[in-house]
Structure 1
Amino acid sequence: MTPIRRLLLVPLVAALAAFGAVAVTSSPAAAATNSFRGVNWAVLGDNFSTGPLVISGLSSSDSYATVQAKANALYDDMAAIGVNTVRLPINTHTVGTAWWSAYRGAIDAATARGFKVILAYWEDGAASGGRITNTAAWNTMWSNVTYLYGANTNVYFEPMNEPHGYTSAEWRNVAAAWMSYHYSAVPARTLIGGTGYSQDLRDVCNDSRFNGTLLSFHHYAFFYTAMTYDAWRTHVQTRLGNCASRAVVTEFGAPMSTGLNYADANSTDNFVRHIRAVTQVMRDNQMGGTYWPAIGGKPTGTSGFDYYSMFALSGSGTNLNLTVRNTSGKDRLRHGWGL
């Protein structure tokens, strides 16, 4: 989930000039994306970091085998509600490090059980203003990732999460250049984020350089003023443009620890209306989605957890457990997936 951040724009003029508008060979787009039934597994404190990304439940001292065992324990509980996809964060301070050797256990445990994994780059620290801070390091990171997982058909690549520091034209050039440079990341397993906070797909949808890709879409109530249920549905559908068939709602969420009833079609609560609308648009368009977050995220107040989190984490060592915080929220998520 996007934290409130200062927009400190870091110049990348030289890099963008080098990128230019590159033609990309595309492959046929998917007819629907509802095979992505997922959640985000995030760092407690959020994924915007200038250090290695140690996602919630893991420890920086964990070995590959320990990470794999912890991940499998959590994936068992996620699968119990229908999850078959996990979106995991990466950054330039994680990939290629000693921690990366262990962190890969979370990726490998997921793919071994047939889960899809979306690897998404989070900018290296919240103060970088929605831009790539070091293009060379970013490309090196992705070369490492695509070399390891380019042939794994369960692994998907998202070049950047919420590229809001770029204009639409800049971002589309950056993304097109990424695809040309990282040719082992086939378009059909690449998710290009929408403009802004990945919240508008229309320009990306209409750019023929991305015809063969999937698209990453974010939608939160806090992005906008309160609306009726019908207005939320129209709002979401409008920002998908003509590309709902290729879109995955890689982030959406609402409070799960406050007792809201997401089964109430007559609710006047804005969060309830919003989640009901997003999940209905997903179901109507046979779209997949990865809820934000399963665990981790930005702690709310002094609670020690993100109140959007779908699960409460308990246990110790490799004996970890997840408990659903809100049954009606879980049921609405499954509704969105088409279950």
Structure 2
Amino acid sequence: MNSSPTRRRRLARVAAAVGCALGVAGLLTATASPAGADTSQFKGVNWADPRDNYAADEVVPSGLSKSDSYATTHAKATAVIGQFQARLGANTVRLPVNPTTVNGPFWNSYTGAIDAAAAKGFKVVLGYWESAAAKDGRIDDTAAFDAMWNRITAKYAAVGAVYFEPMNEPFGYSSQEWRDVAANWLAARPAVPRNRVFVGGTGYSEDVKPVCADSRLDGTYLALHQYGFWHKDWTSPRQWADDLRARIGTCASRTVLDEFGAEMTSGLDYNGPVNGSYEVAYLQAATDTLRSLGMGSVYWPGLRTGDSYSLTTLSGSGTDLTLNVTNPSGADRLRWGWGGGSTPTPTDGVLRGAGSNRCLDVPGASRANGTSPTLWDCNGGVNQRWAHTAAQELRVYDTKCLDAEAGGGTEARLVIWDCNGGANQKWTFQSNGTVTNGRSGLCLDVTGEATANGSAVGFWHCNGKPNQVWRRS
């Protein structure tokens, strides 16, 4: 995916023609459900080069640098991947590769990102992107392409966390040509397990049915792309859902939507009414369909600096990197598509006390275990940003959790501590705005109903008073 306006317009023209045909087919077959899926284990985001993954030189995802050592890349990637996990609930990352990246010296550093993701328990999808010079949907240099994949698979074929996508968006090939290329890629690498290969659909990876039907490609996953800008005239979720199902056919059991995305910086509420927005209709339909079919997906992009579709923005320096969610409702829809909770809710932001209008704050931005949070004027700092994870943790700095020390009763001390999955680190947001602890059932409470900066925060029997009511924003 190139998120530049020029290519988006070109893609929209091409995809509109294909999409119209697929949309008609979808309307004719809307009652037929694709086969039951087993791809829901992929809950992912793309991590992309801010210039675009179509590059003649090395591809360098946002936050990394060609001058970084392996250790520095590993540390940076650990920070970014950890926040994809904590803030978005992801377990998969799709990373770009090209011959310049892999066949040259940068590979020794770049493997740090792959290894860091795998060490975090992530699935890593490596996809080939052609050079910006041609951008014709065909392999630029077959010899360099083969050398690249041989080097990648020699290192990672035996690493179960790593998956291989021979080519991103092979739109320059006919259906038969592309299927031949993919079949030859598999035949040349028999040591690569087929269930760790993603074969893109035809065209802009927009139709997986021909690839699915080719027996030479049996056992592989299928990579599908769909974007809202392909049909700005479609403002009905049904149109988008029918289009997506038509592109999948009966192949849901092998298909992963490994590129889809929408504007995240324009303030759209993806949990609200459509109100004539093709983007809201599209993203709601995509995530509803994914959830219904049990299909995995990889959002474009989880992080790409300068891309208005990016679900996060990057701040910090060196290896101390922080991600902030650009649109909580968009993140909610992503988790919904992955089979998340029945009511999409924001998971990342400040916790503002209703009685004081001040925020839950880690004093001095301390990262030390045992530090007790207090109230402070809201400033949006990393020490005030709490991610409510799928595991019901309230995480700050990604690795620290809000923790009820000691026995968890009214005498317990509230601190930050290394996340460990204990019941004393689990928190439930109630409909009245109170926040209850998983072990004690007591409510997060500003001691003595205080409102000043530095006021202590602890626990008390739930009473619904303003000093126990918290708003996320």
Is the TM-score greater than 0.5?
A: yes
Matched, 1:338 2:346: no
SS in structure 2 of the partner of residue 40 of structure 1: strand
Q: Distance in 1 between matches of 2:287 and 2:134?
A: 32
Matched, 1:109 2:116: yes
* Mapping 1:188-227, distance limit 5 Å: 188-227=195-234
Q: 1:315 corresponds to which residue?
A: 316
Q: Distance in 2 between matches of 1:205 and 1:126?
A: 31
SS in structure 2 of the partner of residue 38 of structure 1: strand
| Deviation readout 1:44-85 (Å, 9 max, x if unpaired) | 021001101111101111000000000111111111121110
How far apart are 1:267 and its partner, in Å? 3.3
The one of 159, 181, 196 aligned to 1:152:
159
Q: 1:21 corresponds to which residue?
A: none
Gaps of 5+ in 1: 8-28, 298-304
Q: 1:37 corresponds to which residue?
A: 43
Q: 1:282 corresponds to which residue?
A: 290
| Alignment check: 8 A CA contact 1:40 1:291 kept | yes
* Mapping 1:49-60, distance limit 5 Å: 49-60=55-66
Matched, 1:169 2:176: yes
Q: Distance in 2 between matches of 1:85 and 1:267?
A: 32
Gaps of 5+ in 2: 12-34, 341-473
Q: Distance in 1 between matches of 2:48 and 2:133?
A: 15
- Describe the shift of the 1:126–1:244 C-alpha distance in structure 2 as closer, same or farther (beyond 3 A): farther
Greater relative contact order (Cα 8 A, min sep 6): structure 1 or 2?
1
| Alignment check: 8 A CA contact 1:92 1:124 kept | no
Matched, 1:252 2:252: no
Q: Distance in 2 between matches of 1:246 and 1:253?
A: 21
Q: Distance in 1 between matches of 2:133 and 2:309?
A: 20
Q: Distance in 2 between matches of 1:30 and 1:254?
A: 27
| Alignment check: 8 A CA contact 2:259 2:300 kept | yes
How far apart are 1:185 and its partner, in Å? 1.9
| Deviation readout 1:184-231 (Å, 9 max, x if unpaired) | 221111000000100111111111112211000000012234211101
- Describe the shift of the 1:99–1:199 C-alpha distance in structure 2 as closer, same or farther (beyond 3 A): same
Q: Distance in 1 between matches of 2:285 and 2:133?
A: 29
Q: Distance in 1 between matches of 2:220 and 2:38?
A: 12
| Alignment check: 8 A CA contact 1:252 1:290 kept | yes
| Alignment check: 8 A CA contact 1:147 1:184 kept | no
SS in structure 1 of the partner of residue 100 of structure 2: coil
How far apart are 1:38 and its partner, in Å? 0.6
State the identity as a percent: 50
TM-score normalized with structure 1 length: 0.89
Q: Distance in 1 between matches of 2:38 and 2:272?
A: 28
| Alignment check: 8 A CA contact 2:81 2:120 kept | no
Q: Distance in 2 between matches of 1:206 and 1:126?
A: 33
| Alignment check: 8 A CA contact 1:199 1:218 kept | yes
Q: 2:459 corresponds to which residue?
A: none
TM-score normalized with structure 2 length: 0.64
Range with bigger deviation, 57-66 or 181-190: 181-190
| Alignment check: 8 A CA contact 1:40 1:292 kept | yes
- Which amino acid letter does the alignment assign opposite residue 307 of structure 2? D
| Deviation readout 1:249-302 (Å, 9 max, x if unpaired) | 1100001111000001443210010011111111111111110011126xxxxx
Q: 2:93 corresponds to which residue?
A: 86
Q: 1:12 corresponds to which residue?
A: none
- Describe the shift of the 1:126–1:220 C-alpha distance in structure 2 as closer, same or farther (beyond 3 A): farther
How far apart are 1:112 and its partner, in Å? 1.1
Range with bigger deviation, 101-110 or 219-228: 219-228
Q: Distance in 2 between matches of 1:210 and 1:223?
A: 28
Q: Distance in 2 between matches of 1:268 and 1:225?
A: 10
Q: Distance in 2 between matches of 1:118 and 1:216?
A: 11
- Which amino acid letter does the alignment assign opposite residue 244 of structure 1? A
Range with bigger deviation, 45-54 or 258-267: 258-267
Q: 2:270 corresponds to which residue?
A: 262
Q: 2:137 corresponds to which residue?
A: 130
RMSD of aligned residue pairs (Cα, Å)? 1.6
Aligned residues: 311
| Alignment check: 8 A CA contact 1:30 1:246 kept | no
Q: Distance in 2 between matches of 1:65 and 1:291?
A: 27
Q: Distance in 2 between matches of 1:266 and 1:222?
A: 15
Bigger Rg, structure 1 or 2? 2
Q: 1:141 corresponds to which residue?
A: 148
SS in structure 2 of the partner of residue 95 of structure 1: helix
How far apart are 1:87 and its partner, in Å? 0.2
Q: 1:296 corresponds to which residue?
A: 304
| Deviation readout 1:166-194 (Å, 9 max, x if unpaired) | 01110000000001012222111100000
Q: Distance in 2 between matches of 1:224 and 1:111?
A: 37
- Which amino acid letter does the alignment assign opposite residue 119 of structure 1? L
Matched, 1:121 2:128: yes
- Describe the shift of the 1:254–1:294 C-alpha distance in structure 2 as closer, same or farther (beyond 3 A): same
Q: Distance in 2 between matches of 1:131 and 1:150?
A: 24
The one of 87, 95, 104 aligned to 2:102:
95
- Which amino acid letter does the alignment assign opposite residue 117 of structure 1? V
| Alignment check: 8 A CA contact 1:247 1:287 kept | yes
Q: 1:182 corresponds to which residue?
A: 189
| Alignment check: 8 A CA contact 2:36 2:293 kept | no
